[in-house]
Amino acid sequence: MAEPKNYTNHEMRWNLDGKTALVTGGSRGIGHAIVEELAKFGAIVHTCCRKESELEKCLEEWKKKGFKVTGSVCDVSQRDQREKLIEHVSSIFQGKLNILVNNAGVLIRKKSIEFNDEDISTLLGTNFVSGFHISQLSHPLFKASGNGSIVFISSIAGAMAISDCAIYGATKGAMNQVTRNLACEWAKDNIRVNTVAPGFTRTDMLGSFSEPGDKEGILGELVDRNPIKRKAEPSDISSVVAFLCFSAASYVTGQVIYVDVIVLITCTGAINQMTKNLACEWVKDNIRVNTVAPGLTRTSINVTISL
């Protein structure tokens, strides 16, 4: 048996060694990147997808890389399959879970007037209901482990209008709100809940935004307006997810973190506004500019708040 690793306090804050994780929809795109990111930091990961052949190919790939990853076939839009998934996860992780990433999702693009009941049911069931229900089912496993981190994968479509994405955007907006509610309700159980909302990311799903006869479609226009002049890569998203799972992020909960290169500019205040301006001006020099806005933090600064 290998000797247990001895970590410094700093190392403990920035690794996932031995942590158990469930990532839904982990066979491709952002989900695939998240599985690999967590596994590289030492997590023991279980993932699921709908296609067995796709899953087996991924599992073989991860085995060659030395990652501790298992998988099962599951259509998360089906309630009975979600229940079986968590039963299986509970059995392989001895009734405990540290990390849940609700990544599985679908996109149906139509004009608002063209959506039918089946479209709406599919989008709601896969994008919103599945993640909420899996979180409910996982709650006892998080409590048994003593702590937990839930990360929903949302989209900028949940906060801004994107062409032909009315229902998709609504499911992501609902996800953003339930993140805040669960963060408040489950904080007492030492469970943190956050959402990562990517912008346009290089995945198979992105192809649905290309118009016939136009290789890039509206994407080319969006990239032109993007100061960094490129689409996001799945690894740009997975790195943020990993951060939220570290103990170093133990005070981060209830947040919707947009990974979209200032597609959304919604903050106010002088420092916040300066951040936006500098981010635009200095990106050509490969300089990134961001602002961190803490809440009430235990420091030597004494602040009197009048309500």
29-40 and 52-64 are packed helices; what angle lies between their axes, rounded to 10 degrees?
30
Annotated catalytic residue, options 7, 168, 251, 258: 168
Beta bridge mates, 20: 44
Task: Give burial (CB, 10 Å; 0-12/13-18/19+) of 300.
Answer: exposed
- 258 flagged as catalytic: no
Distance CA 199, CA 223 (A): 11
For residues 171 and 77, give the distance between their C-alpha atoms in angstroms, rounded to a whole number.
13
Residue 177: CA count within 13 A, CB half-sphere: 10
C-alpha 62/C-alpha 39 separation (Å) is 9
- Residue showing tokens 């998988």: 71
Contact 152, 179 (CB under 8 A): yes
Using DSSP's 3-state secondary structure scheme, residue 97 falls into coil
Spatial contact of 157 and 258, defined as CB atoms under 8 Å apart: no
Residues 197, 158: contact at Cβ < 8 Å? yes
Q: What is the Cα–Cα distance from 243 to 196, expressed in whole angstroms?
A: 11
Instruction: Tell me how far apart the alpha carbons of residues 218 and 202 are, in angstroms, rounded to a whole number.
Output: 14
Active site residues: 168
